[in-house]
Amino acid sequence: QHHLPPQAWTNSINKANKLALLAWAKETGIDLVQVNGQRRYGGPPPGWVGGPPPAGTEVFIGKLPQDMYENALLPLFQSVGKLYEFRLMMTFSGLNRGFAYAKYSNRRGAREAIAAFNNFPVREGCAIVVCKSTEKCELSVDGLAASVSRRDLEATLRRVTEGVLSVALYASPCQKQAQLAVLKYSSHQAAAMAKKSLMEGNTRLGGAEARVDWLHPDLKQKLQPREEKPWSGRAQGGRHPGVPKPAPLPAVPCDALERLNALCRRQRLGPPLFLTKCVQENPGGWLQFWCRVVIPGCPVPFRGFTWVRPKGPGRSAHEEAKAAVALQVLRMLGESACGGGAGAL
């Protein structure tokens, strides 16, 4: 990490606003630190006593003008509550990436920020999105060897990462004769640091092709009905262990796509774009799809896997997959399964 020197802001892109930010930071004495593509205030701020705030105190801020900086944003978001941390995502050119995160000292501050600033016009014709931040604490590690035990894996993780709460092993739904681990950490920061360490380090987790990622909601839902146990190389009950048996899925409402489109229109997030790819079929007629949904107003695309079974010539398997993943995205955005919604992300 490094403290930004004044010369880093003297490039030709958006020079006036950058100079205004420098003048404001000098006048207020506020320290901004840039690391890994984001610029941070606080975490903790000056004079903070005690540990970090609990979960549920962070909000996501989207649809920001890219030439708007902390000199405008910090006073705005501090007006409704005490900030513990403010993180603005940055490009190499010195523009912001259109979104930020504000963490308050308590949950009330986060609720006040959402109530006051969701759809708030920071400039004429430019309304921002403010909603609850999803503070992820769970990772998935897919592609572990069948010989890896939960005890050995947990011992390795406790040695190379901090904040491990639990480790669970399942038969991999995507790879034959492999296991998938779900790792739960004590905080989003601990999980993020573990993800970075496991992806970039030389730690051997028992599988050359093991992939570390955030635990996606559709994968979590699919694993919930399964009994947690290490995968065994022996066939059980006459069924080949390499063929995953999809968990029973709830009926997907036919209007899931329409409801997602309507929600995106209400929240001014832009129309969702779907990419679906069939990756495998099992003997029972179930198809597994890899799906990606890009919503312009959301910072990160939704990615994951879902199982569907075609229901006849009237609707293709790809349409079924779109509807299934649309329902998952609705849940992530705060829609209940029966309609309505809170706009939470």
Radius of gyration of the chain (CA): 23
Q: What is the DSSP letter of 201?
A: S
- For 251, counting Cβ atoms within 10 Å of its Cβ (0-12 exposed, 13-18 middle, 19+ buried), the class is exposed
Kindly state whether residue 294 falls inside one of the protein's structural domains.
yes
Q: Considering only CA atoms, which of 112, 181, 119 is closest in space to residue 144?
A: 181
Residues of the chain above pLDDT 90, percent: 18
Are both 150 and 195 inside the same structural domain? yes
Residue 249 φ then ψ, to 5°: -100, 145
For residue 258, what pLDDT band results from cuts at 50, 70 and 90? confident
What are the helix and strand counts (H, E) for the chain?
8, 16
133-161 confidence digits (pLDDT tens): 877 888 999 888 888 888 888 888 888 88
Cβ pair 134, 329 in contact under 8 A: no
Query: For residue 249, is it within any domain?
Result: no
User: For residue 80, what is the DSSP state?
Assistant: T
State if pTM tops 0.85.
Answer: no
Q: Are residues 273 and 216 in the same domain?
A: no
User: What's the CA gap between 271 and 324, in Å, rounded?
Assistant: 17
Co-location of 207 and 269 in the same domain: no
Domain containing 259 — which CATH number?
Answer: 3.30.160.20
| Domain membership flag for residue 339 | no
Domain-embedded: residue 71: yes
Query: Is residue 207's pLDDT more than 60?
Result: no
Spatial separation of the C-alpha atoms in residues 154 and 164, rounded to whole Å: 8
Residue 203, strand partner residues: none
Q: What is the domain count for the chain?
A: 3
d(CA 49, CA 37): 28
**Mean pLDDT (whole number) for 154-178:** 85
Show which of 102, 132, 162 is a domain's final residue: 132
* Domain-embedded: residue 244: no
Give the SS3 label for residue 328: helix
Q: Kindly report whether the peptide bond that precedes residue 272 is cis, defined as omega within 30 degrees of 0.
A: no
Q: Residue 230 falls within a domain, yes or no?
A: no
**Is 27 within a domain?**
yes
**Whether residue 172 sits in one domain with residue 119:** no
Note the pLDDT tens digit of each residue in 280-309: 777 677 888 888 888 887 777 777 778 887
Which strand (E) or helix (H) includes residue 140? strand 138-145
User: Quick check: is 280 in a domain?
Assistant: yes
Token pair belonging to 9 = 């802001």
Statement to judge: residues 73 and 109 lie in one domain = yes
> Is the peptide bond between 44 and the residue preceding it cis, with omega within 30 degrees of 0?
yes
End position of a domain, from candidates 132, 153, 170:
132
* 179 and 107 in a common domain: no
Please name the residue ranges forming H helices in 130-247.
150-160, 188-200, 217-223
Cα–Cα dist 324/322, whole Å: 5
Q: Is 323 exposed, middle or buried (0-12, 13-18, 19+ CB in 10 A)?
A: buried
Q: Do 302 and 332 meet the contact criterion of CB atoms below 8 Å apart?
A: yes
CB 81 within 8 A of CB 113: yes
- Tens digits of residue pLDDT in 328-344: 888 777 643 333 333 33
Tell me the range of 18-22, 27-31, 61-65, 163-167 where mean pLDDT is highest: 61-65
pLDDT at 74 over 90: yes
Q: Are 297 and 63 in contact (CB under 8 A)?
A: yes
Sign of the Cα torsion 263, 267, 273, 276 reads negative
Average pLDDT, the chain: 78
Q: Which of 39-43, 94-98, 197-201, 340-344 shows the lowest per-residue confidence on average (mean pLDDT)?
A: 340-344
**For position 173, which CATH number holds?**
3.30.70.330
**Chain-centre distance of CA 242, in angstroms?**
29
Asked if residue 152 and residue 111 are part of one domain, the reply reads no
What is the three-class DSSP state of 35? strand
Domain that holds residue 301: 255-333
If asked whether residues 111 and 158 sit together in one domain, one would say no
Biggest CA-to-CA distance, the chain: 73
Write down which residue in 132, 157, 176 finishes a domain: 132
Q: How far apart are CA 130 and CA 109, in angstroms?
A: 13
